[in-house]
Amino acid sequence: MHDIAAFRALHEARFEAEPAIFSAPGRVNLIGEHTDYAEGFVMPAAINFATLAGISPRADGKIALFSENYGQVLYFDAADLPAKATQHWTDYPLGVISILAGEGHTIPGFSLSLWGDVPLGSGLSSSAAVEVATGLAVTSLIGVDYPRPVLARLCQRAENEFVGANCGIMDQFISANGAKDHALLLDCRDLSYKLAPIPEHVELVIANTMVKHSVAGSGYTSRRADVEAACAVIASHRPEVKFLRDATLDDLKKWGGEMTPTALKRARHVITENTRTVAAAKALIDGELHELGRLMAEAHESYSKDFEASCEEADTMVALAQNLPGLIGARLTGGGFGGCTINLVEHQQANAFVQALGELYKSKTGIAPQIHICHASGGAHRIE
């Protein structure tokens, strides 16, 4: 966890001003992958890895962006912000600032320090943590208090419109709205949600395959294109189907032949994943952990075979977990093509599980994984 005093001291030493400090968490998705942009359901939890943002005003009209992770500070003109991304970490905070400017806010000069312990590019959404932390810091500086779902939308737009990554709403929403000890079933159509308590005896074990994923990468983009193409075929027969959220397996039976075989498989994943996610939330709320685990296994199978968004290492990590004592359910989490698996594990067996999974994965792949026992945490907040 972060050393807030050290972070404050870093900001003060660099910028000679006392910062207001905000924290926004990363997240792990328990189930519901690539369903958010189909206006479907997801069930993430915020985790105890977070990004801190420290902010203080400046008199010179400059915006100073410092990341402790990158050991770099860059200066921009508040009155003349860059219009385009440059494939640099500053794209994320600049995206948020530029979206806020586009909302009609005058952006003053300020110094912003960032420091995160969310592993970067590992499917735990360090990008949303940076965006939401920046969004809270800057809106607080300019005296604006957006409702959390609105803040999440603005941060998502920063990633879509400025950074150029076509992500859905899940990551920013859970970072802004997470609740301690709970997962959150989010309806991505209207952003209504229901909290599902995670029982005290269940641990969130997050296992990093150490294979880098990228939401901006071609895999994610091509999956979205396939999903949209499949939806267009169904909509040509049933115009009320605006997103795959509205489609059924029966639609695929009737009109799947008009899709490419690939688009058909992608659509089958999204349609079945939506049903699974709602069922998984019910299972968690009802304490039916065996059923939850079964749904997670099915979700991984669908993600790997139909959506083809897994990778050999993630399939290995999930398969190895199945035989270990204490496992409730395991699957690849996040946008796909690498990153982390989520394992729900009985508290009593969690330490032994971590040890055994690490050793098995290392001997099978030659890669030493990072495995963390995480907790469902609250959403973004100011640190007093």
Contact residues for ligand ADP, defined by CB under 6 A: 51, 67, 69-70, 89, 92, 114, 116, 120-127, 130, 214-215
Least distance to ligand ADP from the beta carbon of 53, Å?
A: 9
* Separation between Cα atoms, residue 177 and residue 9, nearest integer Å: 28
Part of the chain binding Mg ion (CB under 5 A), chosen from 58-66, 127-135, 274-282, 293-301: 127-135
Of 69 and 351, the one with the shorter C-beta distance to ligand ADP is 69
Least distance to ligand ADP from the beta carbon of 89, Å?
A: 3
* Separation between Cα atoms, residue 266 and residue 117, nearest integer Å: 33
Of 212 and 382, the one with the shorter C-beta distance to Mg ion is 212
Query: What's the gap between Cα 158 and its chain centre?
Result: 14
Of 85 and 279, the one with the shorter C-beta distance to ligand ADP is 85
Query: What's the gap between Cα 248 and its chain centre?
Result: 26
Amino acid at position 109, single letter = G
Q: Which of 171, 226, 246, 251 is catalytic?
A: 171
Least distance to Mg ion from the beta carbon of 291, Å?
A: 30
Of 120 and 289, the one with the shorter C-beta distance to ligand ADP is 120
* Separation between Cα atoms, residue 273 and residue 222, nearest integer Å: 18
* Separation between Cα atoms, residue 186 and residue 152, nearest integer Å: 13
* Separation between Cα atoms, residue 208 and residue 201, nearest integer Å: 22
Closest to 318 (Cα-Cα) out of 350, 275, 354, 361? 361
Of 114 and 263, the one with the shorter C-beta distance to ligand ADP is 114
Least distance to ligand ADP from the beta carbon of 363, Å?
A: 27
51 is a contact residue toward Mg ion (CB under 5 A): no
Per partner kind, with CB cut-offs from 5 to 8 A, the member of ligand ADP, Mg ion, none near residue 51 is: ligand ADP
Q: How far is the CA of 61 from the CAs of 57, 76, 81, 274, in angstroms? A: 9, 9, 11, 47
DSSP helix/strand/coil, 26: strand
187 given a catalytic annotation: no
Least distance to ligand ADP from the beta carbon of 251, Å?
A: 32
Per partner kind, with CB cut-offs from 5 to 8 A, the member of Mg ion, ligand ADP, none near residue 130 is: ligand ADP
Half-sphere exposure of 275 (CA within 13 A, CB side): 11
Strand partners, 207: 341, 371
Report whether 13 contacts 5 (CB < 8 A): no
Least distance to ligand ADP from the beta carbon of 127, Å?
A: 3
127 is a contact residue toward Mg ion (CB under 5 A): yes
Of 159 and 246, the one with the shorter C-beta distance to ligand ADP is 159
Within positions 201 to 240, which residues make up the interface with Mg ion, using CB under 5 A? 215
DSSP helix/strand/coil, 258: helix
Per partner kind, with CB cut-offs from 5 to 8 A, the member of Mg ion, ligand ADP, none near residue 67 is: ligand ADP
Around Cβ 5, how many Cβ atoms within 10 Å? 8
Which residues form the catalytic set?
171
Q: Which residues lie near Mg ion (CB under 5 A)?
A: 125, 127, 215
